[in-house]
Structure 1
Amino acid sequence: MKRLLLLFIIAFGSLHAQNDSINKLDEIILRGNFSPVLNSGYEVRVIPDSILKNNFESLGTLLQKQANFYFKQNGNGMVSSISLRGTSASQTGVYWNGIGINSALNGQTDFNTLQANSFDQLEVRKGGGSVLFGNGSVGGAINLKDEVNFNNVQQAGVLLGLASFDTYFTQLTGIWGSDRFYAKISGGVQASKNDYPYLNTSLENDNGAYVNYNLNATLGYKINELHSLRFNTSIFDNDRELSRTLTSESSAKLKNNDRRFLLGWTYLGSRYTSSLKVALLHEDFQYLFDKNISANESIGSSDRLIGKYDFTYFLKNDMFFRAGVEFENARGNGNNINEVSQDDFTGYALMHHEPWRKFTYNLSIRAGASSAYDIPVIYSLDARYLFTTSLSLRGAYSTNYRLPTFNDLYWEPGGNPELKAEFSSSGEIGLDYQLKNLRIGAGWYVIKSKDLIQWRPVTQDFWQPVNIDKAFNQGLEFMASYNCVIGMHFIVLRANYDYTLATDDNSNKQLIYVPKHRAGGVLDYSWKKWGFNYNLQYVGKVFTTTSNSESLDDYLLSDISLNRSFCKDIVTLNVKVNNLFNVNYQSVAFRPMPGRNYVLQFNFKI
C-alpha cells in the first residue's frame, strides 16, 4: 500500500499544466467509469440500441445471445441469475446509469425483471471492478444506460408481438428533443400462460403464468454548453406464479416491485468534468407459499438513498486524475428482518497516464467505512501496450470485495452481524487484434477469493451464514468477429468461447452451476429490406452437487429469425424460432426449459 501511494505522489509531483484540448473529456463524461479510457487493461463492450430495440426479451436472454454469459433459470420467465467468470450472482455488479441496483436484500439481480429494450445501451466490462464500480463487481459489471441527446428529433414507436404458450407483449416509445431539451418515455406489458410441455414427459409447466409491466422515462435539460441536468425513472412490476419441477407440483407465487429514480447534474469543461447523482431505489417482494392462501406469505422491502459525485481533472494532455465519493443509506424490513438501517461511505481515486504513445495505464484505489461492517482498502492497476496499430497486449491486477447483504446480516433466524466482507484478488492478460473488419481477442484470468459467505446448517433446522469458503477461478476467453459488405449484402459473423475452471479450495471440486465450456456464435445477414439472424449457444455439463456426483447434460441451442421492412421502413415484421431443434435441456436441476417455440413481432416507427 505504501508503494501504491508513493506512485501517486511521484506522478503528481512531476506534472506541468497544459492548455491542450482534451478529447477524452467527452468520452469520460458520456461513458463514466465504463469508459475504455479508464479500463485500458480490460475488455469493455457496448451492445447498441439497434440490437436492444429490435428484440422484446429479458435482459438475461439477450446477454446469453450477445455476450455469451451464463444464466441459471428456474424455468422460462422465472428467477434468472448470472454467473460471470464462475463467480456468483452477487459477485457481478449490475448498474443503472452508473448506480448499483443489486438487491440490498440478497445482493443479486433477477435478469427476468429487466426488459432489454427498455434501455438505450448495455455496457459490459469483464474483470474485477470493485475499485471503480464499488461493492460486488468481482467477476465484472453491466451498466444499463439511458442516453440523452440534445438534437432536433421527434419519434414514436409501437412494438406488438405474440408468441407460443399464449404469450403477448407490447411496448410504446416516444422521443422528443431539441438543442436544449430531451424527453423519452416508454412503457410496455408482457403476459403469458407459459404452459409449455416438459419434453419427453407427460407434464407441462403448471403454475407458470406471469405478467410484467415496465415504465421508463428520461428527461434532459441543457442549461448552457457546460452544464446539463437529467432525470431518469425506471419502474418494473412482475407478478408470476412459480413453476413446478419434474418431481413436485407448485402453487407458489412471487410478486416483485422495483422503483428507481435518479437526478443528475453534469459539468463538461475544457480541463475537467464534474457530475453529481442522487438516486432513490425501492424494492419489495411478496412470496405466497400458496397463491390461494394470501395470509401464508413472506414479504420484504428495502429503500436506498444514494449520493454519488465524480470529478476528473486533466493535468496535461496525457495524464489526468479522477476521483469520486459515494454515500448510501439503506433501510430494510420484512417478515424475517426487523427494521434495520445502515450507512456506507466510500471514495476512490484514479490516475490515468500515457507516458508514451504506445503505452497506457491506470492506477486506482478505493477505501470506505460502514456502520455495519469493515470495508477493506482495495486497489487496481491495468495497462495496455500497442505493438502495432492492429495488435495490443492488455493486463490488469485488482483486489475486490463483496459486502454482506441484509439477509446475511439480519435474517431471523440465522443472520450473522459479525460477517466480514468477501475479499478477492484477480489478474488477467490478453491480446487483441483488429485489422479493418476483422477483430480477434483472447485472454486468461485468475480470481482467488476468501471469506466467501455461505449459509451452513448449525442444527437440523437452523442455518447461519459464515465466512468460511475459499475459491479459485481461472479461465480462457476467446472471441472473433468479422463483417463485410458485398454489393447490397451485409454480413456479420461473431464467435465466442469460454473455458472456466472454478474450484472450492476445500474439496478441489468444480463449483456447482459453473460450466467448464461455453460457446456462442452469431450470423447476421441483410439484403435490401430483408434480414436474417442465426444464433448458436453451447453450454457444457454443470454439476448440481458440491461433491460433483450429479450433473446436468450439456446442450446446444439454435435460434433463427427473419425480418422484412415495409412502407419505407415504417413497419418491420420479424419472425423468430427459438430452440429450433427442440432440444430438451435444463439450466437448473428438475426445471426444464421450453422446446421449440415461435415469436411474431411487429415494429411500427413514426
Structure 2
Amino acid sequence: MAFFLLLLPAAGLLYRKACSAQDTTGHRLLRDTALRAVEVAAQRQAASFSASSPVQLLDSAQLSALGARSVAGAARYFAGVLVKDYGGIGGLKTVSVRSLGAAHTGVLYDGLPLSDAQNGQIDLGRLTTDNLSQLTLYNAQPPDMLQPAAAYSMATVLSLTTRRPAFAKGHSLKGEAALEGGAFGLLQPSATLQYGWSPRGYSTLSAGWQQAEGKYPFTLQNGDSLQKKHRENSDIQALRLEYDTRYRFSDSSETALKAYFYNARRGLPGAVILYNDRSRQRLDDRDFFIQAGWRKRFSPQSRLQVSGKYEASYKRYLDPDFLNSEGHMENRYRQKTYYLSGTWSYRLRPFLTLAYGSDIMANTLDASLPDFVYPTRFTWLNNLAAAFSWQRLDIRANMLGTLTGDRVKTGPQPQTRKVLSPAAALSWQPRERLPLRLRFFYKSIFRMPTFNDLYYTLIGNTRLRPEFTRQYDMGLSWNPQLQGLLSSLAFTADAYYNTVRDKIIAVPRQNLFQWTMLNAGRVHAKGVDAGARLFFRPLHAFRLTLGGHYSFQEARDVTDPSAPEYGQQLPYTPKHSGALQATIQYKPLTLGYNLLFSGSRYRMGDPIDYNRLPAFVTQDLTLTGRLPAGRGGMWELTAAVDNLFNRQYEIVRYYPMPGRSWRLGLHYRF
C-alpha cells in the first residue's frame, strides 16, 4: 500500500503532462479522454531478507486470514515457538522461543516493554489482535537503532504494533464496529474510532468486550473406557480499552501517547485426572498502563527518542477448595512499574551509525501473603550499539550494561548485580544480483529471578542466581523474483544452538505442598527453523498465497550426568513441529486455511509411554466476504471453523483443548 501511495504524486504529474501532450496521430489529448486501465502488481521484498537476525512477521491481512483473536493464537504460527496452553478461553497462555523458556521472551507494545516482575511471563491470551497492524517476532532484538535499551535485554522479542490511520483527502473520521459470536457462549463486540483532528495529528479509541461460558466438550479416557465430558470453570468476562494519539510538529519531531486498560474475571480450568474434573479457582485481572514518547530529528545524522511509562496491575486469586485452617486461599497482588528511557543515534558516515540508550526502571510488589517482604527492584540499563553497512555487507553489534538490585522491607538485603552482555550480528549478500543473503548472530543475555522465585512464602529462595543464556545462529534468506505463475518466493532457514546456565527449577522440599526454587539446571538446545512464503500472480480473478514453516528442536537437560533425566528432551518440547497457511482470494471473497502440527512430547517425569503426549494436527478454515456500503463504507462477514476435524488433544497433560468450534463475525468499516 505504501508503494502505491508513493506513486500517487508521480501519477498526478504524468497525468497533467499527458493532458497537454499529443497522441501518436498528432491530436492533442483532452482531459476527458478515456484511457485503458492498467493494473500494476508488485510484491515487496520480505522483511526477513535483509535482516541480520531472524525476523518473522504477520501483518493485519495475515492475522485476519489466520482467524486468531489473541496474540497467543497468532504466535503459534511462528517457527520455533511453543505455546503453553492450559485449555479454556480464559486459561493462561505463554510462549517459549527455541526452548529458552517463557520468561526469556519480552513483549514490546508500540515500542515499549510490558513488565511483569512477579512471575516474568506475559499472558498473551489477554492481548487481542483486533487493533494490530503488525505482529513481529525477533530473535535477538529488533534492528531499529533508535529503540530503548530494554529491547536489547531480552533473548527474543515479540513486538506488537497498533494501526495508524490514513485519511482520505477531505475526510478526518474513520471507524469500525464488529460483533462476533460463536460456540461455547462466545460473544465479542468491539469498536474503533479514528479522528484526524489536525493535518499533523490524530487520535484513536478502541474498545472490546469478551465473554464466554467455555463449556466445550471433550473425551475423557480412563484405561479402556471413554467418557464424554464438558470443560468446567472455563468462563471469562473481559473488557479492553485503548487510546492512542500522535502529533507531528513542524520541526519534524513527533510525540505519541498511549493508554491501555484491561479488566477480566475468569475461571481457571483445572487438571482432569481420572474422573475428577472439578475446579473452582478464580482469577481477577486489572491492568493499566500509560506511556508517552517524543522523537526529534536534529539533523540528517542525529536523532533522539525519549519515552516514559507507568504500569499498574492487580490480581486476585481465589481457591475455595484449598486445604488450610481458613478453608480457602485468597491472594491479592499489586504490582507497579515506573520506566524512563532515552536513546540517541548519530550517523558518523553514510555506512556507520552509533546509538546510545539508557533506561531506568523500578518494580514494586505488594502481596497479601504472610511474612511478605514487599520487594522493590531497581534496574539501570545502558546500551551502546553500532551499525555498519557497506554495499552488501551489514554488521551490527552492541554491548549492554545492566545494574540491578532488590530492596526488601524485612530480612537480609539481596545482592546488587552488574552484568555486561555483548551481541553481534552479520548479514552478507554474496553478489548484487543474487537474491541470497547469509547471516549469523551471537547474543549473551540473562534474566533475573522473578519476585515469585525469590520471595514467595515457603517457596522463594533469596540466594538464586540469574539465568544466563547464549545464542548462536547461522542462516540464510532467499527472495527471488520469478517468471510465470509464481511471482516471488521468500525462503528462510536457520540453524541455532542455545545454552542456558543456572536454570531456575522448582523441586519438592518436605512434601508436595512445600517446594523451593534452585539454580540446578543446565540446558543445551539445538535446532533448525525453515520457512517459505509463495506469492502467485493473479489468475483471472483468483489470487493465491501459500506459506509455512518447519521446526526441529532438540533441547536436553545436561545438568547432572549421574541423574536419570540427564540427556533427556525437555518436558513439553516436541522435536518436530510446523504450520501451513493458504489464502485464496476471489473478488470479494477470501478463504483461509491453516494447519498446525506438533510432534509427540513428554510431560515431566520419565520418558515412558504413560508420560507421552501423542502428536496432533489441527486444521482451521476462515471465509471472509466484503460488500461495499454507502459513503465509502464496507461490510465484512466472517465465518470460521476451528479444529475442523474435531481432533482431541492436549498441550499440557490433563488439560484437554477444545474440539471443533465455530465463529461468525460481522464488521462494518466507514
- The normalised TM-score by structure 1 is 0.89
In structure 1, what residue type is equivalent to 2:646? N
Query: Does the CA-based 8 Å contact 1:495-1:522 persist in structure 2?
Result: yes
Query: Does the CA-based 8 Å contact 2:258-2:292 persist in structure 1?
Result: yes
What is the rounded CA distance, in whole Å, between the counterparts of 1:379 and 1:202 in structure 2?
54
Q: Does 1:180 align with 2:239?
A: no
In structure 1, what residue type is equivalent to 2:121? Q
User: How far did residue 488 of structure 1 move?
Assistant: 2.1
Query: Does the CA-based 8 Å contact 1:438-1:482 persist in structure 2?
Result: yes
Q: Deviations over 1:312-371 (max 9, x none)?
A: 1000111100110000011101023432212110110111112x3121101110012122
Q: Does 1:250 align with 2:282?
A: no
Query: Does the CA-based 8 Å contact 1:161-1:599 persist in structure 2?
Result: yes
What is the rounded CA distance, in whole Å, between the counterparts of 1:335 and 1:509 in structure 2?
39
> Residue in 1 aligned with 2:294?
265
Q: Which moved more, 1:125-134 or 1:45-54?
A: 125-134
User: How far did residue 528 of structure 1 move?
Assistant: 0.6
> Residue in 2 aligned with 1:326?
359
> Residue in 1 aligned with 2:383?
348
Q: 1:211-222 counterparts in 2 under 5 A?
A: 211-222=237-248
Q: Does 1:146 align with 2:179?
A: no
Q: Does 1:137 align with 2:170?
A: no
> Residue in 2 aligned with 1:158?
177
Larger Rg: 2
User: How far did residue 478 of structure 1 move?
Assistant: 0.6
What is the rounded CA distance, in whole Å, between the counterparts of 2:396 and 2:51 in structure 1?
7
What is the rounded CA distance, in whole Å, between the counterparts of 2:503 and 2:141 in structure 1?
16
> Residue in 2 aligned with 1:542?
601
Q: Deviations over 1:498-542 (max 9, x none)?
A: 001111113111111111111100000101111100001001112
> Residue in 2 aligned with 1:192?
212
What is the rounded CA distance, in whole Å, between the counterparts of 1:291 and 1:235 in structure 2?
31
User: How far did residue 418 of structure 1 move?
Assistant: 2.3
The correspondence for 1:522, drawn from 581, 589, 605, is 581
Q: Relative to structure 1, is the Cα distance of residues 296 and 424 closer, same or farther in structure 2, using a 3 angstrom cutoff?
A: closer
In structure 2, what residue type is equivalent to 1:447? N
The correspondence for 2:627, drawn from 550, 554, 566, is 566
The correspondence for 1:363, drawn from 382, 394, 397, is 397
Q: 1:88-167 counterparts in 2 under 5 A?
A: 88-127=101-140, 133-134=150-151, 137-138=154-155, 140-148=156-164, 153-167=172-186
User: How far did residue 422 of structure 1 move?
Assistant: 1.0
> Residue in 2 aligned with 1:27?
none
Query: Does the CA-based 8 Å contact 1:483-1:492 persist in structure 2?
Result: yes
Query: Does the CA-based 8 Å contact 1:185-1:218 persist in structure 2?
Result: yes
In structure 2, what residue type is equivalent to 1:522? Q
Q: Relative to structure 1, is the Cα distance of residues 102 and 483 closer, same or farther in structure 2, using a 3 angstrom cutoff?
A: same
What is the rounded CA distance, in whole Å, between the counterparts of 1:411 and 1:262 in structure 2?
30
What is the rounded CA distance, in whole Å, between the counterparts of 1:67 and 1:202 in structure 2?
34
Query: Does the CA-based 8 Å contact 2:253-2:296 persist in structure 1?
Result: yes
> Residue in 2 aligned with 1:376?
419
Q: Relative to structure 1, is the Cα distance of residues 404 and 39 closer, same or farther in structure 2, using a 3 angstrom cutoff?
A: farther
User: How far did residue 256 of structure 1 move?
Assistant: 1.3
In structure 1, what residue type is equivalent to 2:523? A
Q: 1:392-411 counterparts in 2 under 5 A?
A: 392-411=437-456
> Residue in 2 aligned with 1:593?
657
User: How far did residue 546 of structure 1 move?
Assistant: 4.0
The correspondence for 1:493, drawn from 537, 546, 551, is 546
Q: Does 1:604 align with 2:657?
A: no
User: How far did residue 281 of structure 1 move?
Assistant: 1.1
Q: Relative to structure 1, is the Cα distance of residues 48 and 40 closer, same or farther in structure 2, using a 3 angstrom cutoff?
A: closer
In structure 2, what residue type is equivalent to 1:315? L
In structure 1, what residue type is equivalent to 2:341? K
> Residue in 1 aligned with 2:252?
226
> Residue in 1 aligned with 2:373?
338
What is the rounded CA distance, in whole Å, between the counterparts of 1:167 and 1:37 in structure 2?
36
User: How far did residue 76 of structure 1 move?
Assistant: 2.2
What secondary structure sits across from 2:174 in the alignment?
strand
> Residue in 2 aligned with 1:207?
233
In structure 2, what residue type is equivalent to 1:535? N
Q: Relative to structure 1, is the Cα distance of residues 404 and 375 closer, same or farther in structure 2, using a 3 angstrom cutoff?
A: farther
Query: Does the CA-based 8 Å contact 1:450-1:471 persist in structure 2?
Result: yes
What secondary structure sits across from 1:112 in the alignment?
helix
User: How far did residue 414 of structure 1 move?
Assistant: 3.0
What secondary structure sits across from 2:311 in the alignment?
strand
Q: Deviations over 1:274-308 (max 9, x none)?
A: 11110011122111102999974111121000001
User: How far did residue 426 of structure 1 move?
Assistant: 1.1
In structure 2, what residue type is equivalent to 1:489? F
What secondary structure sits across from 1:160 in the alignment?
strand
What secondary structure sits across from 1:339 in the alignment?
coil
What is the rounded CA distance, in whole Å, between the counterparts of 1:451 and 1:168 in structure 2?
45
Q: Does 1:502 align with 2:555?
A: yes
What secondary structure sits across from 1:120 in the alignment?
strand
Q: Which runs of 5+ in 2 are unaligned?
A: 1-45, 220-225, 407-415, 482-487, 560-565
What is the rounded CA distance, in whole Å, between the counterparts of 1:56 and 1:418 in structure 2?
41
Q: Which moved more, 1:171-180 or 1:513-522?
A: 171-180
Query: Does the CA-based 8 Å contact 2:79-2:550 persist in structure 1?
Result: no
What is the rounded CA distance, in whole Å, between the counterparts of 1:38 and 1:328 in structure 2?
34
Q: Which moved more, 1:147-156 or 1:224-233?
A: 147-156
> Residue in 2 aligned with 1:29?
none
In structure 1, what residue type is equivalent to 2:207? G
In structure 2, what residue type is equivalent to 1:87? L
Q: Relative to structure 1, is the Cα distance of residues 386 and 294 closer, same or farther in structure 2, using a 3 angstrom cutoff?
A: farther
Q: Does 1:72 align with 2:84?
A: yes
User: How far did residue 86 of structure 1 move?
Assistant: 1.3
> Residue in 1 aligned with 2:458?
413
What is the rounded CA distance, in whole Å, between the counterparts of 1:317 and 1:145 in structure 2?
29
> Residue in 2 aligned with 1:311?
344
What is the rounded CA distance, in whole Å, between the counterparts of 2:194 and 2:443 in structure 1?
41
> Residue in 2 aligned with 1:30?
none
What is the rounded CA distance, in whole Å, between the counterparts of 2:499 and 2:391 in structure 1?
33
Q: Relative to structure 1, is the Cα distance of residues 266 and 148 closer, same or farther in structure 2, using a 3 angstrom cutoff?
A: farther
What is the rounded CA distance, in whole Å, between the counterparts of 1:601 and 1:319 in structure 2?
50
Give the number of equivalent residue pairs: 570
Query: Does the CA-based 8 Å contact 1:39-1:362 persist in structure 2?
Result: no
Query: Does the CA-based 8 Å contact 1:148-1:220 persist in structure 2?
Result: no
Percent identity between the aligned chains?
Answer: 20
Q: Deviations over 1:5-39 (max 9, x none)?
A: xxxxxxxxxxxxxxxxxxxxxxxxxxxxxx97999
What is the rounded CA distance, in whole Å, between the counterparts of 2:75 and 2:463 in structure 1?
36
The correspondence for 1:473, drawn from 502, 522, 525, is 525
Q: Which runs of 5+ in 1 are unaligned?
A: 1-34
What is the rounded CA distance, in whole Å, between the counterparts of 2:151 and 2:195 in structure 1?
34
User: How far did residue 246 of structure 1 move?
Assistant: 2.2
Query: Does the CA-based 8 Å contact 2:68-2:74 persist in structure 1?
Result: no
> Residue in 2 aligned with 1:46?
57
Query: Does the CA-based 8 Å contact 1:361-1:384 persist in structure 2?
Result: yes
Query: Does the CA-based 8 Å contact 1:183-1:218 persist in structure 2?
Result: yes
**RMSD, matched Cα:** 2.4
Q: Relative to structure 1, is the Cα distance of residues 316 and 374 closer, same or farther in structure 2, using a 3 angstrom cutoff?
A: same
Q: Deviations over 1:176-199 (max 9, x none)?
A: 124221111100101101111113
